[in-house]
């Protein structure tokens, strides 16, 4: 198709290609207009009728550039625009912070509601009732494995030497020397008077580390129990709403001991679970303030603390029979046979059965059917990481704990068993 461009003086014809864009230069020609050659009507106004000059376009390699003077703002306009953007940005950040503090808090409170109000009410109802003596034992006896979970010694004592057939953690064979040194550093080994059954009816709660505890709002309930048992480095500060504030016994091994002194402020006792002979040497070092050698520290699979801010009388050594007897019961639920090493959680439940008349559990029950679920209440790890561990049989442990709950021997506060 051709159009004729009409100039006020000489006329010219320009060919225009419509089905593509040719490279080259298009220059504005003053006093030009275009007419359709068929009827002579103008396609473009004469230049005299146009009030605004036409910008120059350069088309090179598919890129269109305009005259830089018309594209860029002047220095004054740039300054004004920058100030407007700066003030606007600060306003967007600061004004909501000053004007809507209460609204933000209310929104947060509305969002962070108890995960299960029914369970929370059931927990409150349980605490409103008087403690029931020997409740656990009476409900444990009908179970087929009950005989293996009765009358197990809880803490090691100097006056009761034992001949060990198994090595740690199910026994202390080969660790006798380190055991003797550790017990010698303890002013009061064995069960303290405050934990003996003769001291009156007691309630225990074993606080697991499971993600199901997150959003439970059980913290104030947990603090009402007589004995509160926690595991390894499961934190308390910052998680009081769901996990409570006090700790009666913290079961741990050296690599699992909390590094922050804050974690021990409301802790009555630390009880060592021996997984290797060197763990006993670590306990002796912590109590006597005599540091371990550099060579000894190399044998721990992660860095261990050198100091725990508790007095020597606040340390104990868990009796290996707790682990051994728990493992034997778990064998009844396991697919594979052999010596079973239970988790600290399952062992803590069996320990609680020896100490208290009523036992409750909070934060127990790994939900392996939902790999995206939260693993621990205090971090963002997800459930699928548990597939990589091969030491413990968590499926057998869940069945074991379910039977305890079904029999009424223990109460599941978080409802995941």
- Give pLDDT, residue 199: 78
- Structure token pair of residue 303: 């860095």
Beta carbons of 330 and 311 less than 8 angstroms apart: no
Beta carbons of 199 and 356 less than 8 angstroms apart: no
User: Which distant-in-sequence residues (6+ apart) come within 8 Å of 152 by Cβ?
Assistant: 319, 321, 322, 325, 350, 354
d(CA 34, CA 280): 100
d(CA 361, CA 349): 8
Beta carbons of 203 and 304 less than 8 angstroms apart: no
Q: Where are the alpha helices (DSSP H) in 68-141?
A: 68-71, 75-99, 101-111, 117-128, 135-140
N-term to C-term CA, the chain: 82
d(CA 209, CA 250): 12
Beta carbons of 245 and 267 less than 8 angstroms apart: no
- Give pLDDT, residue 74: 64
d(CA 31, CA 205): 94
Q: pLDDT truncated to tens, each residue of the chain (417 aa)?
A: 444 434 444 444 434 443 444 444 343 444 444 444 444 444 444 434 444 444 444 444 444 444 444 444 566 666 666 666 766 654 554 443 333 333 323 333 334 688 889 999 999 999 999 999 999 999 999 999 999 999 999 999 988 778 899 999 999 999 999 999 999 999 989 999 999 888 799 999 999 999 999 999 999 999 999 999 999 999 999 999 999 999 999 999 999 999 999 999 999 999 999 999 999 999 999 999 999 999 999 999 999 999 999 999 999 999 999 999 999 999 999 988 888 899 999 999 999 999 999 999 999 986 656 666 787 898 877 666 665 555 678 889 999 999 999 999 999 999 998
Q: Computed from CA positions of residues 213, 219, 224, 230, in that sequence, does the dihedral angle turn out positive or negative? A: positive
Given strand 2-7, what is the order of strands in its sheet?
12-15, 2-7, 32-35
User: Cα Rg for the chain, rounded, in angstroms?
Assistant: 38
- Give pLDDT, residue 24: 43
Q: Where are the alpha helices (DSSP H) in 236-293?
A: 240-243, 277-288
d(CA 189, CA 210): 31
- Structure token pair of residue 268: 């009555």
User: Half-sphere exposure (CA, 13 Å, Cβ side) for 313?
Assistant: 4
Beta carbons of 146 and 332 less than 8 angstroms apart: no
Please report how the helices 344-355 and 394-407 are oriented relative to each other, as an axis angle in degrees rounded to 10: 30
């Amino acid at each position: 198709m051709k159009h004729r461009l009409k100039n006020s003086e000489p006329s010219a014809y320009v060919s225009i290609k419509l089905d593509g864009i040719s490279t080259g230069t298009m220059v504005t020609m003053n006093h030009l207009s275009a007419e359709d050659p068929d009827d002579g009507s103008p396609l473009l106004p004469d230049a005299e009728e146009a009030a605004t000059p036409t910008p120059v376009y350069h088309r090179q390699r598919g890129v269109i550039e305009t005259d830089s003077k018309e594209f860029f703002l002047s220095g004054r306009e740039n300054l004004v625009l920058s100030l407007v953007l700066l003030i606007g940005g600060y306003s967007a950040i600061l004004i909501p912070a000053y004007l809507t503090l209460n609204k933000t808090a209310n929104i947060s409170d509305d969002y962070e509601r108890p995960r299960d109000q029914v369970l929370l009410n059931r927990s409150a109802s349980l605490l409103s009732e008087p403690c029931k003596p020997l409740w656990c034992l009476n409900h444990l006896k009908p179970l087929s494995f009950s005989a293996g979970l009765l009358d197990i010694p809880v803490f090691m004592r100097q006056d009761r030497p034992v001949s060990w057939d198994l090595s740690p953690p199910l026994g202390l064979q080969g660790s006798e020397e380190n055991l003797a040194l550790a017990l010698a550093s303890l002013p009061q080994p064995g069960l303290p008077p405050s934990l003996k059954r003769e001291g009156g009816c007691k309630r225990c709660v074993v606080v697991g580390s499971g993600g199901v505890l997150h959003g439970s709002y059980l913290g104030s309930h947990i603090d009402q129990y007589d004995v509160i048992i926690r595991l390894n480095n499961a934190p308390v500060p910052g998680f009081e709403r769901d996990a409570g504030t006090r700790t009666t016994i913290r079961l741990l091994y050296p690599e699992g001991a909390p590094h922050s002194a804050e974690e021990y402020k409301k802790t009555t006792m630390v009880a060592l679970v021996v997984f290797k002979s060197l763990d006993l040497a670590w306990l002796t070092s912590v109590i006597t303030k005599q540091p371990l050698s550099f060579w000894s520290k190399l044998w721990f699979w992660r860095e261990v603390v050198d100091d725990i801010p508790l007095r020597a009388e606040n340390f104990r050594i868990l009796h290996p029979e707790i682990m051994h007897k728990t493992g034997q019961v778990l064998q009844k639920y396991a697919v594979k046979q052999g010596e079973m090493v239970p988790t600290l959680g399952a062992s803590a439940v069996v320990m609680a059965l020896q100490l208290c008349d009523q036992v409750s559990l909070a934060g127990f029950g790994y939900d392996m059917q939902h790999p995206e679920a939260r693993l621990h209440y205090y971090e963002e790890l997800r459930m699928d990481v548990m597939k990589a561990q091969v030491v413990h049989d968590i499926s057998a442990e869940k069945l074991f704990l379910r039977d305890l709950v079904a029999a009424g021997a223990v109460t599941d506060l978080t409802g995941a068993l």
